[in-house]
Amino acid sequence: MTNRRTFLKGAAAAPAAALATPALAQSTIRWRMQTYAGPALAEHVIDPAIKMFNQIAGDRMQIELFYADQLVPTGELFRAMQRGTIDAVQSDDDSMASPTEVTVFGGYFPFASRYSLDVPVLFNQYGLNEIWEEEYSKVGVKHISAGAWDPCHFATKDPINSLEDLKGKRVFTFPTAGRFLAQFGVVPVTLPWEDIEVAVQTGELDGIAWSGITEDYTVGWADVTNYFLTNNISGAWAGSFFANMDRWNELPEDLQTLFRVCTDQSHYYRQWWYWGGEASLRVHGDKMKLTTIPDEEWAQVEAAAVAFWDEIAAESETKAKVVEIIKRYNADMQKAGRPYRYS
Taking the C-alpha atoms of residue 244 and residue 230, their distance in angstroms, rounded to an integer, is 38
Q: Give me the pLDDT at residue 194, please.
A: 87
Q: Say if residues 291 and 163 touch (Cβ distance below 8 Å).
A: no
Give the model's confidence band at 2: pLDDT under 50 very low, under 70 low, under 90 confident, else very high: very low
pTM: 0.89
Taking the C-alpha atoms of residue 37 and residue 192, their distance in angstroms, rounded to an integer, is 11
What is the residue-averaged pLDDT of the chain? 92
Taking the C-alpha atoms of residue 211 and residue 294, their distance in angstroms, rounded to an integer, is 21
Give Cβ neighbours of residue 88 (< 8 Å, ≥ 6 apart): 31, 32, 33, 63, 81, 241, 242, 243, 244, 247
Q: Give me the pLDDT at residue 9, please.
A: 38
Provide, rounded to the nearest whole percent, the portion of the chain with pLDDT above 90. Answer: 90
Q: Give me the pLDDT at residue 120, please.
A: 96
Over residues 234-269, the pLDDT tens digits come to: 999 999 999 999 999 999 999 999 999 999 999 999
Mean predicted confidence (pLDDT) in 282-305: 97
Please name the residue ranges forming H helices in 203-252: 213-219, 245-250
Provide, rounded to the nearest whole percent, the portion of the chain with pLDDT above 70. Answer: 92
Q: Give me the pLDDT at residue 4, please.
A: 34
Q: Give me the pLDDT at residue 22, please.
A: 38
Beta-bridge mates of residue 244 = 141
Q: Give me the pLDDT at residue 15, please.
A: 36
Q: Give me the pLDDT at residue 193, please.
A: 86
Mean predicted confidence (pLDDT) in 141-159: 97
Mean predicted confidence (pLDDT) in 114-124: 96
Helix, coil or strand: residue 98: coil
Give the model's confidence band at 30: pLDDT under 50 very low, under 70 low, under 90 confident, else very high: very high
Residue 12 has pLDDT above 80, yes or no: no
Residue 343 has pLDDT above 90, yes or no: no
Taking the C-alpha atoms of residue 129 and residue 90, their distance in angstroms, rounded to an integer, is 16
Residue 279 has pLDDT above 60, yes or no: yes
Domains and their CATH numbers in the chain: 4-150+237-277 (3.40.190.170), 152-236+287-336 (3.40.190.170)
Residue 23 has pLDDT above 60, yes or no: no
Give me the DSSP letters along 164-178. GGGTT-EEEE-HHHH
Q: Give me the pLDDT at residue 18, please.
A: 33
Q: Give me the pLDDT at residue 6, please.
A: 38
Q: Give me the pLDDT at residue 25, please.
A: 58
Over residues 37-70, the pLDDT tens digits come to: 999 999 999 999 999 999 999 999 999 999 999 9
